[in-house]
Structure 1
Amino acid sequence: MNAVDPSLQAAPIADWRTYPISADLVGLDATRDSLQVTWSDGRVSPFHYQWLRDNCPCSQCVYGVTREQLLEIVDVAEELAPQRTCIDEQGHLLIDWQGGHHSRFHPGWLRAHAYDLASRDERQAQRPQPQLWGAELAEQLPRFDYQAVLEDDGTLLRWLLAVRDLGLTQLVAVPASEGVLLRLAKRISFIRESNFGVLFDVQSKADADSNAYTAFNLPLHTDLPTRELQPGLQFLHCLVNDATGGESVFVDGFAIAEALHQESPELFDILCTTLVEFRNKSRNSDYRCLAPIIALDAEGRIGEVRMANFLRGPFDAPVERMPALYRAYRRFIALTREPRFRLQRRLEAGQLWCFDNRRVMHARSEFDPASGARHFQGCYVDRDELLSRIRVLQR
């Protein structure tokens, strides 16, 4: 491969990312409806003319300030054909279109978006995958220093990647003061407000509007399954924990779902396809959501777990499906109780949990409010904000 000037690594009017040139353009073969591109590593990538014209990066087609497209493909003739194609001295693909338009494609950008089978498989393999875990994570739990996360972008990125890939992290040396959590959460992005407030206080209350605000044993659950979109990240900051009991318990919901899938695909399928109503009611609010307990993403992978038995309404399913639904539901909960999946640890003052609420189910053992004070503060940040912050830091 020829040496490339580093200044050419960035594609003009791209999307603030750089596109390394992993292979040079070495051959072009025009067919009736596409251009067959040959790369220096032997890969051949077909690009349809419609696709190439649709993705022209010139200033007439993309506004350079916002990097957003101006062209709508319907405004271009459906039967497109280039008058001339060539590879310029800098290795870019040049296309002169019939009608007088000119396009210039950076080879790094073009390779990164090629849609031949090998290129698509390559991109799929490079996508981050969740790292499933069980009780063994107790010995390997990622712990990060609060002040380092606030002050150092490298530490911030490592923390956020751990949250993305494992779904559970702990921060230490956090000042045990009310409101401190706001500064940390805003290090990522916007905080998601709910009917429980921007910050919510987790402590025993006489007039509780959630079981979380009692001293009862709180079973494994995800927060706010009653919402169309469950909060992504949840933070729990310990201000004081002098009470007897009240240990935190965590289970990787993706690991549970995968275990169920391996053990009984038919029961897994029932929890993916049966809608369950979750409800949260108080004097001033009434939230309800119909959704499956296990949700698959657009690519068919496990993307979300939704569970809170204490917020679940009666099952509503066809008569013939009800027995199997109960078998699936019982088995899912039984798996979460197996020691191999459970991480249990007491959170002390000055420590903080951050976890993916749409993946990791959390619980709290019963505590005795008469034995000492127990006060946590929490807040939510959506998953989109986590992923956006990671991408910006990785630039």
Structure 2
Amino acid sequence: MNAIDPSLEAAPVADWRSYPIHADLMSLQAASDHIAVTWSDSRVSPFHHQWLRDNCSCSQCVYSVTREQLFEIADAPEPLHPQRTRIDEQGQLLIDWQNGHHSAFHPGWLRAHAYDDASRAERFAQRPQSRLWRAEMAEQLATFDYHAVMNDDATLLQWLLAVRDIGLTQLQGVPTTEDVLPVLATRISFIRESNFGVLFDVQSKADADSNAYTAFNLPLHTDLPTRELQPGLQFLHCLVNNATGGESVFVDGFAIAEALRQETPELFRILCETPVEFRNRSRTSDYHCLASIIALDAYGAVSEIRMGNFLRSAFDAPVAQMPALYSAYRRFIEMTREARFRVQRRLDAGQLWCFDNRRTLHARTEFDPTSGARHFKGCYVDRDELLSRIRVLQR
């Protein structure tokens, strides 16, 4: 391998991250519209001229303070081609373009962004994967100590990774004062406000504007399915729980969706493709959202569940499709009631749930408000903030 300057290997490139060098650039082969790079492990990666020019990170193309791009590919000459290409003594790819512009590409960055089949498959395999769970989660619940999360970044990262990959966690040893939750939530990022406030109190109220603020059994749901973007994370901090009943129930919506995909793929397809309207009306607000119950990401994996029967409007589908829609909807609800998927736990004072609201459906069994006080404090943080905090901690 070439002798690499250690500062080059550790240097951040354009986007605040550092790229270790796993393979050296060994040779270049020119083609009409691309350069084929051969690496020290024999992998060959073609890079098109437009792609290379588009990703130049020099000070003319990327502002060094923000590390955001200034250059737009429409400003490059067409047809675009290099005048000269070479590998320098530090192992970088250097390109002199026909209009006099010069580009240098760090080998670690170039390998990390290579788009040959092997490199893309390698990146795909390294993507975070959801860890699906069923009833056995009750015995394997990801539990963390509040003080460790607040004072140790390594523990904070482990907690956030569990929230990302499992979607259900519990913190223990949380002080039972009302000022604790916002401090904990902002350990991740800023809190998302809704019409229920920055923070909300989950307790029985005579003038309730949501079934959550009653003593009724609350069926499995995601919060705010009536919004274009449902909240990502939900926090529920138990300040006091002396009432009879009121246990928390959870199911992994991703696990149910995948089971539905395997068992009855036609019903799964219907819930992915059929828009359903959710609405939430009160004296001072009126929210509506039309979206599918199951959403898929760009790779076809389940990325979001939207469910709240008590917030659902009448189905609006073509006559011929209505029976099938009801079959799919009934089957999904039936699966959420099956013991194989359900986790049921009581949350006591000093404990806190944090879960992915766009994945983990939650419910509450009925409780007797005359048997004792029950008061949870809640808030939301968007999923994007969780993922951003994870990346910053990791880099």
Per the normalisation by structure 2, the TM-score is: 0.99
CA distance in 2, matches of 1:113, 1:66: 21
Correspondence list, 1:29-48, <5 A:
29-48=29-48
Alpha carbons 2:275, 2:290 under 8 Å: kept: yes
Residue equivalent to 1:154: 154
The superposition leaves residues 115-171 of structure 1 with CA deviations (integer Å, 9 ceiling, x where unpaired) of 111111110000001000001111111111111111110000000000000000000
Q: Give the secondary-structure state (helix, strand or coil) at the position aligned to 1:158.
A: helix
Deviation, 1:99, is 1.4
Alpha carbons 1:10, 1:17 under 8 Å: kept: no
Correspondence list, 1:215-364, <5 A:
215-364=215-364
State the one-letter code of the partner of 1:83: Q
Deviation, 1:2, is 4.0
CA distance in 2, matches of 1:193, 1:224: 12
The worse-fitting range, judged by mean Cα deviation, of 162-171 and 297-306 is 297-306
CA distance in 1, matches of 2:234, 2:6: 41
State the one-letter code of the partner of 1:259: A
Residue equivalent to 2:71: 71
CA distance in 1, matches of 2:286, 2:55: 46
The superposition leaves residues 10-30 of structure 1 with CA deviations (integer Å, 9 ceiling, x where unpaired) of 345421111010100001001
Alpha carbons 1:11, 1:108 under 8 Å: kept: no
Residue equivalent to 1:100: 100
Deviation, 1:323, is 0.5
Alpha carbons 1:162, 1:169 under 8 Å: kept: yes
2:185 matched to 1:188?
A: no
Residue equivalent to 1:16: 16
CA distance in 1, matches of 2:113, 2:24: 14
CA distance in 1, matches of 2:184, 2:171: 10
CA distance in 2, matches of 1:78, 1:113: 24
Alpha carbons 1:231, 1:380 under 8 Å: kept: yes
Alpha carbons 1:237, 1:378 under 8 Å: kept: yes
Correspondence list, 1:86-165, <5 A:
86-165=86-165
State the one-letter code of the partner of 2:252: D
Deviation, 1:3, is 5.1
CA distance in 2, matches of 1:140, 1:355: 15
The worse-fitting range, judged by mean Cα deviation, of 4-13 and 141-150 is 4-13
State the one-letter code of the partner of 1:70: L
Residue segments in structure 2 that go unaligned for 5+ positions in a row:
none
Residue equivalent to 2:25: 25
Q: Give the secondary-structure state (helix, strand or coil) at the position aligned to 2:56.
A: coil
CA distance in 1, matches of 2:239, 2:273: 41
State the one-letter code of the partner of 2:128: P
Q: Give the secondary-structure state (helix, strand or coil) at the position aligned to 2:89.
A: coil
State the one-letter code of the partner of 1:45: S
Alpha carbons 1:12, 1:57 under 8 Å: kept: no
Deviation, 1:273, is 0.5
State the one-letter code of the partner of 2:218: L
The superposition leaves residues 362-393 of structure 1 with CA deviations (integer Å, 9 ceiling, x where unpaired) of 00000000000000000000000000000000
CA distance in 1, matches of 2:188, 2:109: 28
CA distance in 2, matches of 1:234, 1:12: 34
Q: Give the secondary-structure state (helix, strand or coil) at the position aligned to 2:340.
A: helix
Q: Give the secondary-structure state (helix, strand or coil) at the position aligned to 1:272.
A: helix
Alpha carbons 1:174, 1:350 under 8 Å: kept: yes
2:204 matched to 1:204?
A: yes
CA distance in 1, matches of 2:341, 2:13: 47
Alpha carbons 2:131, 2:165 under 8 Å: kept: yes
Q: Give the secondary-structure state (helix, strand or coil) at the position aligned to 2:385.
A: helix
CA distance in 1, matches of 2:247, 2:128: 31
Superposition CA RMSD, Å:
0.8
Alpha carbons 2:12, 2:18 under 8 Å: kept: no
* % identical equivalent positions: 79
Alpha carbons 2:237, 2:352 under 8 Å: kept: yes
Alpha carbons 1:13, 1:64 under 8 Å: kept: no
Deviation, 1:6, is 2.6
Residue equivalent to 2:61: 61
State the one-letter code of the partner of 1:286: D
Q: Give the secondary-structure state (helix, strand or coil) at the position aligned to 2:370.
A: helix
CA distance in 1, matches of 2:11, 2:37: 18
CA distance in 1, matches of 2:4, 2:33: 31
CA distance in 2, matches of 1:54, 1:198: 42
CA distance in 1, matches of 2:249, 2:220: 8
Alpha carbons 1:201, 1:377 under 8 Å: kept: yes
State the one-letter code of the partner of 1:326: Y
How many residue pairs were aligned? 395
State the one-letter code of the partner of 2:40: S
Alpha carbons 1:11, 1:109 under 8 Å: kept: no
The superposition leaves residues 52-88 of structure 1 with CA deviations (integer Å, 9 ceiling, x where unpaired) of 0010111011111000001011011121111111110
